[in-house]
Amino acid sequence: MSGDPEQEYFADGMVEEIITALSRIRWLFVIARNSSFTYKGQAVDVKQVGRELGVRYVLEGSVRKAANRVRITAQLIDATNGAHLWADRFDGSLEDIFDLQDNVASSVAGVIEPALQSAETARSSGRPTTDLTAYDLYLRAQAMLFSSTKEIPEALRLLERAIDREPRYGPALVLAALCCLRQVYDDRSASPQRDRAMGADFARRALEAAGDDPGVLANAAFALAYFGEDIEAMIALVDRALLLNPNYARGWHSSGVLRLWAGQPDIAIEHVEASLRLSPRAQVGGSQLNLGAAHFLARRFAEAAPKLTLAIQDNPSFPQPYRYLAACYAHMGRLDDAREIVARLRAITSVVVPDASYLRHPEHRELLVSGLHMAAGEET
C-alpha cells in the first residue's frame, strides 16, 4: 500500500518475513509470496482479492520512512465483508533493518492468531446448529471454555460429539483434555479422579494425532503436566511447540505455567511476559495470576499482591487468584486482609486449601498451603 518505489525493497522484505511467521501457525492456510505479490502497485478491492485467492482474510499494510526512522502500518480485513478486524502501527529505527522486520513480523503473527480465532468463532456461532461440522463444534466449545467456567460441561459435550465424528481430531481432543483439567482445577468436578483419568487419556490421544501442530503439543503438555506426568518431559514438549512456531502466544503462556509448576518462577515470568508481548490484547486475568503466583513463590509478596488483585478483578468467579492472594497476605502478616479474601473465596467454592501437587517444588507447595491455613485461621 506504500505507493513509494523507494520503499519497495523494504516492503518486500517485510512481507516475506510476515508470510514466514504466519506460515508457522499450522492451522492457517497462508498464500505464498508469488501469489500475493501479483497485487503490488495495484488499487485492489479486498473482497476481490479474497475471491481470487480463495482466502477469508487479507493482511495489508504500508511502509513510510523519514530520515533514519520508519513507520510500518498493518491492518487485517475480513475479505467476505470488508470489515476491519485489527490494525496497528510500528515505529522503529533503520539502524538494524533485519531486527525491525523480525520484530514486526513476530508481533503481527502473534496478534493475528487470536484475532482470527475470534473471527472464526463468531462466524461459527452464527451458523445453524443442525449443520455443524467437527470444526464448528470445536470452535463453539473453545469459545465456551475460555469465556465461562459454568459452560465447560457443555463445551466437553460438544467436543465429544466432534471427536465421535473425527476420532483423530487433535485440536478437539486436546481441548477436551483442557475441559477436564478446568473441571478439576476450578473445584467443579463431581469426580476429580475420573476427570483426571479422562483428561489424561484425551491429551495422550491428542499427542498421537498431533504431528507437528504446535497448539496441540503445547496444550497436551500443559494438561498432562497438571495430571502428574513428568514435568521436564512436558516442558520439552512445549519447547518443541515453540521451536515449530516461535510466535505462538499461548505456547509461551503454557511454557510459563509449566516453569512455574516446575519451581522456576523467574523463567515463568519471562515466558508469560513473552506471551503478553505477542498477544497484548489477551485477557489479563490468567497472565496476571501466573505472574502474581511466580512472584509469590519467589517470596516477592509485595510484587505479587497487585497482580493477583488484578486477576481477581478480571475474573471474579475464578478461585485460584483468591487462594494465592490470601496466602500472600498471610505471609505478609496482613491477616485481616487474608481472611477477607478467604471469605470471598468461600462464596465461590467450599475448597479453600486445594490439592497443590501440581507444584513440584516441596517448599513452594508448603508456602501456598501454609499461607492458606493461616488465612483460614486453621492449624497447619
Helix (H, G, I), strand (E, B) or coil at 311: helix
Q: Which residue has the higher pLDDT, 187 or 148?
A: 187
Alpha carbons 334 and 286: distance in angstroms, whole number: 24
Give strand pairing partners of 78: 57
The DSSP symbol for 127 reads S
Lowest mean pLDDT: which of 6-10, 40-44, 84-88, 108-112? 6-10
Check residue 54 and give left, alpha or beta (phi > 0: left; psi -120 to 50: alpha).
Answer: left
Q: What's residue 35's pLDDT? A: 77
pLDDT score, position 290: 96
Q: Read off the pLDDT of each residue in 274-283 and give the average, rounded to a whole number.
A: 74
Angle between helices 152-165 and 170-185 (to 10 degrees): 160
How much is the average pLDDT of 310-319? 91
Nearest to 285 by CA among 146, 141, 93, 135: 146
User: Please, which residues bridge with residue 60 across strands?
Assistant: 75
Strands 69-78 and 57-66: antiparallel
**Amino acid of residue 317:** S
Quickly state the pLDDT bin for 280 (edges 50, 70, 90). Answer: low
Q: List, edge to edge, every strand of the sheet that includes 84-93.
A: 57-66, 69-78, 84-93
CA distances (Å), origin 82, targets 75, 122, 285: 11, 16, 32
In this structure, are residues 120 and 25 in contact, taking their beta carbons and an 8 Å threshold?
no
Beta strand extents in the chain (DSSP E only) = 57-66, 69-78, 84-93
Query: Which conformational region is residue 82 in: left (phi greater than 0), alpha (psi within -120 to 50 degrees), or beta?
Result: left
Q: Which domains does the chain have, with CATH numbers?
A: 5-111 (3.40.50), 127-246 (1.25.40.10), 263-380 (1.25.40.10)
Q: Supply the pLDDT for residue 220.
A: 96
Taking alpha carbons only, the member of 181, 170, 253 closest to residue 224 is 181
Using DSSP, how many helices (H) and how many strands (E) does the chain show?
17, 3
The tens digit of pLDDT for each residue in 183-211 reads 998 888 889 999 999 999 999 999 998 87
Q: Within 227-300, where are the H helices?
A: 231-244, 249-261, 265-278, 284-297
pLDDT, mean of residues 77-99? 82
pTM of the model: 0.72
pLDDT-derived band of residue 128, with 50, 70 and 90 as boundaries? very low
Look at 106 and 237; give whichever has higher pLDDT.
237
Question: Residue 130: which pLDDT band, with cuts at 50, 70 and 90?
Answer: very low
Residues above pLDDT 70, as percent of the chain? 90
DSSP 371: H
Q: Report the pLDDT averaged over residues 320-340.
A: 97
The 10 Å CB-count burial string (b at 16+, else e) for 322-334 is bbbbbbbbbbeeb
Gap between the Cα atoms of 71 and 61, Å rounded: 10
- Quick one: pLDDT at residue 124? 58
pLDDT of residue 131 exceeding 50, the answer is no
For residue 171, give the H/E element and its range.
Answer: helix 170-185
Among the ranges given (103-112, 154-163, 217-226, 297-306), the one the predictor scored with the smallest mean pLDDT:
103-112
Please give the Cα distance from 22 to 12 (Å, whole number). 15
